[in-house]
Chain A
């Protein structure tokens, strides 16, 4: 017994090292498993507060740019509305305060964004109290950003499309050929669309949009344009490099999308499987 104690005391540093190392490896592995990182996340009171504070200063410096983007988006929306004028009565359409579509949009500000690692996350300054829940889509006016993965009272964490575990359904604008949007970890402006069947007619510069097969993003949101493409090893599917419309290194404000009918559709699909 004495010897065991002596051994433990003599090697207490090595033992402490091994225990702490095991803890950190455990946290790392848990973080690598999708949707399971329960303990360590930046969407908590302290880190969220710190990021929010530093972002308040940062946002102020980019006001010009954000204004420009808003103007651009307003311009786009005005064009759409003015075209609607022709067909439907105006009064009904302009009353947009009662949004009765399938999707509900909320605004949020990105208070932390990284893109230099292989698994990247963003932190938003809105959380459960503002009605944000897990698996809501996140977009900007130019393209998609990611999917909400953890929610706290006031902050939420988003899995960026620049994350090796992110897979988003996307398709060609011209035809209905679809594939999965992934990222190879290299360039934050280029993502990959894989598993596109060989029959798809591809051309450089074609637009890629969201596919609408998932319940997260509505169909038809712009993602990026084709930069180049090649057949994969099986020679039957294309791997396409896509240049994002969105500058993922510079995101200010985002929209969080809620699919209002999601529960209903999921219920229906569960019934089918039984």
Chain B
């Protein structure tokens, strides 16, 4: 339990710094940045305390917001993603989630992809909607959501397969 706690705290800090110092400066094609810090929300223990999880997700988003000068958009997006996570887990992994015995590394690729993709898509959609904050930019919101999501999903799957040994 303690090592799990420690690895989650470490992941929180490392992901925030990775995001604000490196990934926010990628700017592929001018505006596409991956938001890899969602990985914290994806990997948080499935059986953990749900209220604490919501609060930590909020804190994660807020830390990124303070660095980015973006008000509360990352906090809101993380919060929504954390809130819908149980439903998406049940949708993607079905019966094994209800028995609380899934390990992300051991799940079939299709289920993992749908879980990661849906989570990232929801997070990014809320993020960019709040960033633009106007319906006039709906096309720009969708464009940014789509491209950034693809980038994030690829990076997330890569890092999942790179660092999966720990969770086996």
A interface vs B, CB < 8 Å? 12-13, 16-17, 20-21, 23-32, 37, 40-42, 44, 47, 50-51, 54, 112, 114-119, 121, 123, 157, 185, 187-188, 249
B30 within 8 Å of A (CB atoms): yes
Q: How far is the CA of A20 from the CA of B32 in the complex (A)?
A: 28
Given A24-B61, A24-B76, A54-B21, also A31-B31 (CB < 8 A): no
Q: List 29 A-B contacts (CB under 8 A).
A: A12-B51, A13-B54, A16-B51, A16-B55, A17-B79, A20-B54, A20-B75, A21-B76, A21-B79, A23-B75, A24-B62, A24-B73, A24-B75, A24-B76, A25-B76, A25-B130, A26-B72, A28-B76, A29-B71, A42-B69, A50-B17, A51-B67, A117-B68, A118-B132, A119-B131, A157-B69, A185-B140, A187-B30, A249-B27
> Which of B21, B67, B70, B83 contacts A17, CB < 8 Å?
B83
Closest 8 CB pairs between A and B?
A31-B71, A27-B72, A24-B72, A24-B76, A24-B75, A28-B71, A121-B69, A116-B31
> Which of B17, B67, B72, B140 contacts A23, CB < 8 Å?
B72
Which residues of B from 91 to 147 have beta carbons under 8 Å from A?
A: 130-133, 137, 140
Q: How far is the CA of A13 from the CA of B48 in the complex (A)?
A: 13
Q: Is the interface of B mostly helix, strand, loop or mixed?
A: helix
Residues on B with C-beta less than 8 A from A157 are 69
Question: How many residues of B are in contact with the other chain, CB < 8 A?
Answer: 36
Residues on B with C-beta less than 8 A from A42 are 66-69
Output the nearest chain A residue to B53 by Cβ-Cβ distance: A13
B37 within 8 Å of A (CB atoms): no
Q: Is the CB of A44 within 8 A of B58?
A: no
Residues on A with C-beta less than 8 A from B73 are 24, 28
Q: Is the CB of B72 within 8 A of A116?
A: no
Given A25-B76, A185-B140, also A117-B66 (CB < 8 A): no
Residues on A with C-beta less than 8 A from B72 are 23-28, 31, 40
Tell me, rounded to whole Å, the shortest Cβ–Cβ distance linking A117 to chain B: 6
> Which of A32, A41, A54 contacts B66, CB < 8 Å?
A41
B8 within 8 Å of A (CB atoms): no
Query: Which of B20, B70, B132 has the most chain A CB atoms inside 10 A of its CB?
Result: B70
